[in-house]
Amino acid sequence: MQFTITFGFGFITLMFLGFLSGYLFGRKILEYEPLESMFVSIFVGIVTLLVEMMLMIFRLDKYDKMQDIERKRINKID
């Protein structure tokens, strides 16, 4: 439960910051109009989502491997 809540808050925060930073990057750095900045925002936000999904897959794989090692250790003790 705690893992799910932590991941949810982190995911929502990163998603928000990804879209916001993309928009501000388009507006302030590249000096685009608002509509063009929205496209930059969408691009940066989608890339952020893809990276976050890949990191989540790696995190779950690592967690599964740790659980397997723990199960083998407990079975070996018994």
How many residues does the structure list for the chain?
78
Q: Which of 47, 2, 40, 8 is nearest to 24 (CA)?
A: 40
Identify the domain containing residue 10 by its residue range: 2-77
Predicted pLDDT at 78: 61
pLDDT tens-digit profile, the chain (78 residues): 777 788 788 888 988 999 999 999 999 999 999 999 999 999 999 999 999 889 889 988 998 999 999 888 888 776
pTM to 2 decimal places: 0.75
In order of 7, 9, 63, 64, 75, the CA distances from 16 in angstroms are 14, 11, 26, 29, 44
Tokens representing 20 are 């916001």
The per-residue pLDDT for 22 is 94
Give pLDDT, residue 76: 78
